[in-house]
Amino acid sequence: MIKTSGLTKKYDDMYAIRDIDLDLQAGDLFGFIGPNGAGKTTTMRIIATLLEPTEGEAYVCGHSIYTHAKDIRRLVGYMPDFFGVYDDMTVIEYLEFFAAAYKISGPKRRQRCDEMLDVVDLDFKRDAYANTLSRGQTQRLGLARVLLHDPQVLLLDEPLSGLDPRARIEMRSLMRRLGGMGKTIIVSSHILPELADVCNKVGIIDSGVLKENANVMDVIQKVRPQLVILIEPAKPEDFDRVSTMLSAQPEIESVSSLKPKLKVTLKPGLTDASEIATRMIQSGIAIRHFAEEEINLESAFMALTKGAGAKI
């Protein structure tokens, strides 16, 4: 659905993006993560045919951005970070105005607008003026607008930015629903943990360079290739005994104290810690907590980037 090869944008001697390669299929929800100025918006605007690259190629649903820009625009819904709404239009009037621009006419226009209000859970605001909506409601209205022509590809630039916690939860839920409809979605964000449970693929970009481009779990495992277990004995007085016992186990590389837990790192290549729990129980040690230490996209991002985005 989306394929880019060597996508590059240069301004004088400065690269906004350099050699971006993407390959996304139908139903992929791709989290495009990076600091402000890293090149996310530049990449999305090129895919949307709103900006021409200096070098490289991009295809959307098999169409080249150079030769079939009009076809691509019919297939893409692009929602920028900030967009204006008309002060003198109600929500339904706003959607009908854009539906007309998409050449949706007659009874089908109102039907389509009603359907999109239902999809984004904004029907209760249909007669409110668009400029009276909250930030979260405005974001949902913008999403309804880009869905009017039923695009196969969605480009959502920082849709979670500036939202309160409840609005972010609602927007993430909505993105999951859209991914379940088979649409290919690129969603950019610098709010890193927000995308971990939404996207199936992730790209980490910094200073215009795509540092990582893989499945979410593959990226996380690359940051921490060894399995780390957090163990807490049920009895605090067993802490030192457990630490000594674990340090002697052949599959364990290191044990460190994070009272009341112990941080246990297995040797490279080992992915099963169940035998350790079995030995503890057989030794008469009650266990309060035994689980793999979690690592999220924020930790992955900090480990894989320098944290200094290019100014674009």
> How much is the average pLDDT of 101-110?
92
> 175 with 58: CB under 8 angstroms?
no
pLDDT of residue 272: 87
- Any idea what DSSP says for residue 267? P
Nearest alpha-carbon partner for 298 in 156, 213, 196, 206: 196
> How much is the average pLDDT of 191-211?
81
Q: Please give the model's pTM, rounded to 2 decimal places.
A: 0.75
Q: Which of 104-113, 157-166, 264-273 has the lowest mean pLDDT?
A: 157-166
Nearest alpha-carbon partner for 214 in 198, 202, 230: 202
Measured CA distances, 240 to 206, 235, 244, 254, 256 (Å): 44, 11, 6, 15, 11
Pairing of the two strands 2-11 and 14-24: antiparallel
pLDDT of residue 190: 72
**Could you give the 3-state DSSP secondary structure of residue 43?**
helix
**CATH numbers and ranges of domains, the chain:** 2-214 (3.40.50.300), 225-294 (3.30.70.100)
The H-assigned helical ranges of 156-228 are 165-180, 216-223
**Could you give the 3-state DSSP secondary structure of residue 212?**
strand
- Confidence tier at 47 by pLDDT (50, 70, 90): very high
pLDDT of residue 309: 38
pLDDT of residue 307: 44
> 128 with 178: CB under 8 angstroms?
no
**Could you give the 3-state DSSP secondary structure of residue 246?**
helix
Nearest alpha-carbon partner for 140 in 123, 165, 153: 123
> 149 with 76: CB under 8 angstroms?
no
